[in-house]
Amino acid sequence: MDFLASNCVMENLSFPDQVFKSLLFAPGNKRSILSKLPRSSPDASIIDLEDSVPTDEKTNARETARVMIPELSEKAKKMGLFVRVNAFGTEHFAEDLSIAISDELTGVIVPKISSKEEADQISKSLSDFGFGGLPIMAGLETVSGLVNALEIAKQPQVKWCYFGAEDYVADLGGVRRADNREVLLARSQISQATRMGGIYAIDMVVSDFKDEKRFLEEAVEARSLGFTGKLCIHPDQVGLANKAFRPTEEELDWASKVIQEFEKAIERGEASIAIGSEMIDEPIYKRAQIIKRMSQNSA
């Protein structure tokens, strides 16, 4: 096997196995809402301790999360489960880790990460609390976070990044637009950074949960930009996200054939092959692998 062909396989091993098309938030202080998270069958559920929880409810939210994690894990064994803690550097961060984080989680979501150094400090904090192996989903939602997106995405414990458009535009001093032109560059930067880091990108929320047309349009656009899923703030958005990011049967058939034939070529020491009239090389092989992973958990 030549070096290039061997390197194709090694690089793809860096991608995490879990791809989430739909990630549904619920406020950490609302036990009745949290208990309903699995009903809409999201790929992952998120117990939120940050934006959706007022300051005087933070303590209650942590305790509720601690109690609900085992229950939610039992209810939906195939569903990813995350807790979004408050940002590093806030007065709430350490208590969130101390009380509301568990080995039963798929990972911890940390918002507003601004640099590789901060990601490293977050990783150390998790290790100090006994969660050194817990994967991180990094929130990229500040100007500094976008500028440093590639280095954040390469931090070893970071396995996914999500884009927070509202916070980013506020930090930028810009104005939100219905056509999302003001965040096109940011979304593209995140997608590129996560791809180079060997991890996955999750797209921004749509605040108007009744606007199904906008949600689907954003999701389709996000997938074309390289995102693999979308944040949801209402159960009705889950099915829309699953539909938009789920590969078609035609795509899956193509991906299966590409993977099978390209891996045979790798064994022969070849780094490119022709399938029909299409030339298949490393980038196309990678795209086929992503398509196969995105079929996971598809209903």
pLDDT surpasses 50 at 297: yes
Candidates 174, 168, 173; CA nearest to 187 is: 168
User: Backbone dihedral region of 64: left (phi > 0), alpha (psi from -120 to 50 degrees) or beta?
Assistant: alpha
Ordered by start, the domain boundaries in the chain are: 15-244, 249-294
Nearest-angstrom CA–CA distance, 48 and 54: 11
* Interval 118-167: pLDDT, tens: 999 999 999 999 999 999 999 999 999 999 999 999 999 999 999 999 99
Nearest-angstrom CA–CA distance, 182 and 194: 20
Q: For residue 129, which amino acid is it?
A: F
Q: For residue 145, which amino acid is it?
A: G
Nearest-angstrom CA–CA distance, 178 and 51: 22
* Interval 155-193: pLDDT, tens: 999 999 999 999 999 999 999 999 999 999 999 999 999
The pTM of this model reads 0.86
pLDDT at res. 57: 98
Report yes or no: 177 and 218 within 8 Å, Cβ to Cβ. no
> Six-digit token pair at 289?
């692998």
> Six-digit token pair at 38?
């699995």
pLDDT at res. 231: 98
pLDDT at res. 287: 81
pLDDT at res. 245: 94
Nearest-angstrom CA–CA distance, 92 and 100: 11
Report yes or no: 141 and 174 within 8 Å, Cβ to Cβ. no
Sign of the dihedral through C-alpha 203, 47, 18, 21: negative
Report yes or no: 219 and 242 within 8 Å, Cβ to Cβ. no
For domain 15-244, the CATH superfamily is Phosphoenolpyruvate-binding domains (3.20.20.60)
* Interval 232-255: pLDDT, tens: 999 999 999 999 999 889 989 999
